[in-house]
Amino acid sequence: MEHSSHNTQLHVATVWRNLLLVGMGLSLSVNLVLGLVVLDKRESIIVVPSPAGQTYQLGDTVNAAYLEDMGRDVALTFLNVHPGTTDYVRDAILKIAHPAFYGEFKRHFDGWLTDIKSRKLSTAFYLTTITADTQKLSVRVTGVLKSFIGKSQVDAEQVAYIIGFNNAAGRLTLSRFEEEQPQ
């Protein structure tokens, strides 16, 4: 009788051990899957300029300082790029694009950014002046655009860009980004 009682206790202990091992295995598997999901997740963060003063003046007129901040952020985001940041740059610009210009921007930027990736090119924009036109909701930025392949600078040129915005219910959306041709 003692022997059968001992076998019963051993069987119960074995069953509980096996259940505990299965539970720990499931927990480990779930944690592994959740870890892979978290590692695979990509997030984009858009930093909107924080104006020091008033954003809007009377009616729908945008403060020049705020317009300059937006123009500076767009220019620096788009023009400071390398092959590893092309997807981020495209997504950041397209998130602030006015819906009517989204397709146009996407085609233009995808071509330019594909060229950057294929040539392993990096660009850096050194802003020198910025001028806001509050009536047209546009900004003119000038500066030096330097191009690099690896650590070697291959080009540096004076450039000027016109960046235009639309006022979409109190939110500025990008409607124009083009290089100004020398006169």
Give the number of domains in the chain.
Answer: 2
Distances in Å between the Cα of 114 and the Cα atoms of 54, 82, 120, 121, 141 are 39, 11, 10, 10, 24
Task: Confirm whether 57 is domain-assigned.
Answer: no
Question: What span, in angstroms and rounded, lies between the C-alpha atoms of 108 and 122?
Answer: 18
Task: Confirm whether 114 is domain-assigned.
Answer: yes
If asked whether residues 143 and 106 sit together in one domain, one would say yes
Query: Amino acid letter at 24?
Result: M
If asked whether residues 74 and 2 sit together in one domain, one would say no
The whole-number pLDDT of residue 158 equals 95
Q: Rg of the chain's alpha carbons, rounded to an integer?
A: 28
Residue 14: which residues within 8 A CB-CB, separation 6 or more?
Answer: none
Task: Confirm whether 47 is domain-assigned.
Answer: no
If asked whether residues 74 and 161 sit together in one domain, one would say yes
Write the pLDDT tens digit of every residue in 46-87: 655 555 555 555 556 778 888 888 899 999 998 999 888 888
pTM of the model: 0.66
Task: Confirm whether 105 is domain-assigned.
Answer: yes
The whole-number pLDDT of residue 59 equals 59
Residue 170 belongs to a domain with what CATH number?
3.10.450.230
Write the pLDDT tens digit of every residue in 129-165: 999 998 899 999 999 999 998 888 899 999 999 999 9
Write the DSSP string, 33-70: HHHHHHHH-----------SS-SB-STTPBPHHHHHHH
Distances in Å between the Cα of 120 and the Cα atoms of 79, 100, 111, 147, 151 are 15, 31, 14, 11, 11
Task: Confirm whether 7 is domain-assigned.
Answer: yes
Q: Which structural domain range is residue 32 located in?
A: 1-41
Average pLDDT over residues 26-48: 76
